[in-house]
Amino acid sequence: MGSVYDFTIKNAKGESISLGDYRGKVLLIVNTASECGYTPQYAGLEKLHQAYFEGGLRVLGFPCNQFGGQEPGSDSEIQKFCELKFHTTFPIFAKIDVNGEHSDPLFTYLRKELPGLLGTEGIKWNFTKFLIDRNGKPIKRFAPKDTPETLTSDIERAITGNPKKGGNQ
């Protein structure tokens, strides 16, 4: 695969969506969970989505139940939770695995393109974030503890076309 645009994902209704639909946009891809200590980051992700939408940023949430069983709900329950509690308007897709044998191919690609700390490919916890440039190339990986508010300079560089490649997880 050459870029994230080569992948097809499922929305919360089970419909196939091509990431090619986001061609030319800067993406922030995040594995999420509703019962995690980092769950309040949904509010910050929504603020980023609102603040940089006009500039071309699209935040994409991917619920995952692989870390402490912190995303036990169905896709429709997750949607309702995000909309009611955090007023999210960015897309929350179908629940997926981000590690292991059943890892979603998108996350397998992201882990290989931007390994974490000490070159480990595995995702350690919920709210790991991947910044994707307008060409569909992963340019930076952020740890779960990196709050959305701390990503603004990297997002602005990606929007303006002057990103720094790297990872810090």
Catalytic residues: 36
Cα of 85 vs its chain's centroid, Å: 19
Structural tokens at position 150 = 């701390």
Structural tokens at position 66 = 């692989």
Cα→Cα distances 141→75, 76, 145, Å: 25, 28, 12
> Is residue 115 packed enough to be buried (19+ CB in 10 Å), middle (13-18) or exposed (0-12)?
middle
